[in-house]
Structure 1
Amino acid sequence: MATFAKSTFSASIYAASRPTYPPELFQHILEYHRKGTTGQPGPRFDHAVDLGCGTGQATRPLKGVFKRVTCVDPSAGMLEKAKEILNREDTKEALGAASSFTFHQAGAEDLSQVIPESGTVDLLIAAQACHWFNWKKVWPETHRILRKGGSAAFWVYGEFQLPEYPSTAPLITAYSQGTDPNSTTSVGAHFQRPGRTMLERLLVDVPSPGSVLGTHSEKGDLTDFRRVYFSGSHEIPEPYSKLKGTYIYPVMMRASWTWLDLLHYLRTWSALHSYHERFPDDLEREDDSRFLDQDMEDARSRNIDGTVIRGGDISIRFWKDARAIAQRGLVRGHASGIAGSTVERKSGLLDNVEIEWPVSLLLTRKA
């Protein structure tokens, strides 16, 4: 994705402020891989590949499971951060517990220079990257590099929600999915599309491997294609929730962050980065005074640099809009049990807020 490749984009801040994937997600993927296909070679754990590895967040759970892991990303900055994190963690591992990592700057559509040998990969993954892929090229490459019995798992997490405060949902949607490039309340038009749209629609627009490849009977097929949604009440566009090979489970990706953590996350968005490239004056706005005095006091009490919460740019305004709604809004599952009741909720800088993301996972294996 173009924004992440720019020298002005901070891979370090990105790595520190993004949500982490739950262990249950990798358990689901590895169980699928271990199951294999009846009558085919059993699954192996020699070589895994992480496409669009970013800072290596999804690579870490592969350590100690696969003998070697190939990390691929088009951004040199992201690769350097992944190399730093993974190699640093490797030195803390007991001898023999760590995997061997290699790093390559490349896209997902042509891996001929990275993995020239066909049929040598046991597990291929892509986390929060596959919505940018050209699937007419990625499915053939997936078919080429997987060995028989190998598996592929591609996933994204969609729009975040604050489940305790459902009344914030329209605000979040307007901020992240607005279409006016000159808006002062939305960064939606500054996401790179159609990739972002595919993410928002939880990958329902990704074609099945069979529709792209047809049949490769002499070299094996990509079979047992599944669309798995850990989405709970998050809406999956119809009729996709009812298609064959679709599995729907409760939400599994959650975080309990402070409101300050949420602000840091918002500032990692590529759309915000692009918005401020177009409207740099937005960063010069006067302080948004809402919550500010108490926020500064809270920051001083924890030796937090107060400059991170000052200002009045579009991300600060949205963040404080959400806090204001949460402070006065309806609370799902409030203990009073009174329908329509309102309560005063904590929305201070260091108060916790529950966040959840729907996850869409595509699975297939080579038979």
Structure 2
Amino acid sequence: MATFAKKTFNASVYSSFRPTYPRVLFNDILDFHRKDSLEPLWDRAVDLGCGTGQATTQLVEHFSSVVGIDPSQSMIEAAQAKNQAQGLSFRQGTSEGLSAIIPDDSVDLVISAQASHWFDWDKVWPETSRILRKGGTAAFWIYAEFRLPQYPFVTPLITAYTQGKDPSTSVGPYFERPGRTILENMLTDVPNPTQMESVLKQRGGLAQFERRYYSGQHYPTHLPPPSPTQVRPVEMRTSIRWRDLLGYFRTWSALQNFHERFPEDLDRVDERFPEDKLGEALDQNLKASQVDIDVGGGDIAVRFWKDLRDEVKNHGGKYGVDESVLVEWPIALLLAKKL
């Protein structure tokens, strides 16, 4: 998490190339909010670790007031510049210390998207319970390692790059722990709040808790299998250009940490695919705010990207920088309710 707070972190690139969350996910969260509550309230929602506001903005149509909170000032500034909807605001702060920002019993929905693996749960669950009104809901989710479902034969390359132990050929050693481990474990390390003394002693507390996995058949094999009722189809998928997949790799915190350790890696050259070009300034099909990505150079992210394309090329697949590739991510979702 500390990586995203650094002044060198590029929030614009992060905003442009991080994947968006599926509508099904929000629908399921809102259905859970309606469940077992005769009159669910829709006044205030809070997004913890909001980043540039990608998930925060999805709540505006449902709640009168939406607040995004993030410890990184650069993220907050990017969110404020990008999102101007009425009733939407952003504040700098931590998820563990909300008392100066959010009063007791004042929130109807608390969410966190791709940030909860950084939380100190001994503090966040009690804070969540404190700020929620009776009938309020908490929904925290992460997405784990990406897959290219059209090309399953590249999965070993992905695993080697993201989980390998060699610090010169893999970014695995440069992910911040234990946050990355909690993400890889699909939030199974997060404690059940209904069994925590610090939550139980609060008035009301959190009385319901569920774990859901939008992973289909691709739930991580290193974890104990979930019950069939917890598993849902993969919903988070998108078709993007190969060059935009490289843009996504550029947003990884581990890559920023790798380049701090090996700055000379940025000067390396990889001569494979000499036909690659930066492309026109912006494709007309892209959003006006989209940042086009430089496909030159030969740093570790480019080498991994070209390794994937090499393998796809060898199997007769589409590998051109402006050709599309389908990408999907499994999601782990935690749901809790204050009754």
Normalised by the length of structure 1, the TM-score is 0.86
Q: Answer yes or no: is 1:172 the counterpart of 2:169.
A: no
Whole-Å separation in 2 of the counterparts to 1:309 and 1:70: 36
Cα gap change, 1:119/1:349 in structure 2, threshold over 3 Å: closer, same or farther? Answer: same
Output aligned runs, 1:72-91, within 5 Å: 72-87=69-84, 90=85
Q: Which residue of 2 aligns with 1:256?
A: 239
Q: CA deviation at 1:249?
A: 0.4
Q: Which residue of 2 aligns with 1:361?
A: 333
Q: Which residue of 2 aligns with 1:143?
A: 129
Whole-Å separation in 2 of the counterparts to 1:204 and 1:301: 43
Q: CA RMSD in A?
A: 2.1
Q: Contact 1:204/1:240 (CA < 8 Å) preserved in 2?
A: no
Whole-Å separation in 2 of the counterparts to 1:306 and 1:206: 37
Q: Which residue of 1 aligns with 2:147?
A: 161
Whole-Å separation in 2 of the counterparts to 1:3 and 1:58: 20
1:267 to 250, 254, 262: 250
Cα gap change, 1:234/1:307 in structure 2, threshold over 3 Å: closer, same or farther? Answer: closer
Whole-Å separation in 1 of the counterparts to 2:292 and 2:94: 39
Larger radius of gyration: 1
Cα gap change, 1:102/1:299 in structure 2, threshold over 3 Å: closer, same or farther? Answer: closer
Q: Which residue of 1 aligns with 2:227?
A: 242
1:129 to 92, 101, 115: 115
Q: CA deviation at 1:299?
A: 2.7
SS at match of 2:125: helix
Match for 1:295: what amino acid?
Answer: D
Query: Alpha-carbon deviations, 1:214-255, whole Å to 9, x = none?
Result: 673771131221101000121245435039xx6100100001
Q: Contact 1:36/1:42 (CA < 8 Å) preserved in 2?
A: no
Q: Which residue of 1 aligns with 2:287?
A: none
Q: Which residue of 2 aligns with 1:339?
A: none
Query: Alpha-carbon deviations, 1:151-194, whole Å to 9, x = none?
Result: 000000000000011111111011111233x32x2111111111
Q: Contact 1:295/1:349 (CA < 8 Å) preserved in 2?
A: yes
Normalised by the length of structure 2, the TM-score is 0.93
Q: Answer yes or no: is 1:67 the counterpart of 2:64.
A: yes
Q: Contact 2:130/2:202 (CA < 8 Å) preserved in 1?
A: no
Q: Contact 2:111/2:138 (CA < 8 Å) preserved in 1?
A: yes
Q: Answer yes or no: is 1:29 the counterpart of 2:25.
A: no
Q: Which residue of 2 aligns with 1:206?
A: 190
Whole-Å separation in 2 of the counterparts to 1:49 and 1:25: 17
SS at match of 1:9: coil
Q: Bigger shift: 298-307 or 59-68?
A: 298-307
Q: Contact 1:24/1:252 (CA < 8 Å) preserved in 2?
A: yes
Gaps of 5+ in 2: 285-290
Cα gap change, 1:218/1:254 in structure 2, threshold over 3 Å: closer, same or farther? Answer: closer
Aligned residues: 332
Q: Bigger shift: 23-32 or 208-217?
A: 208-217
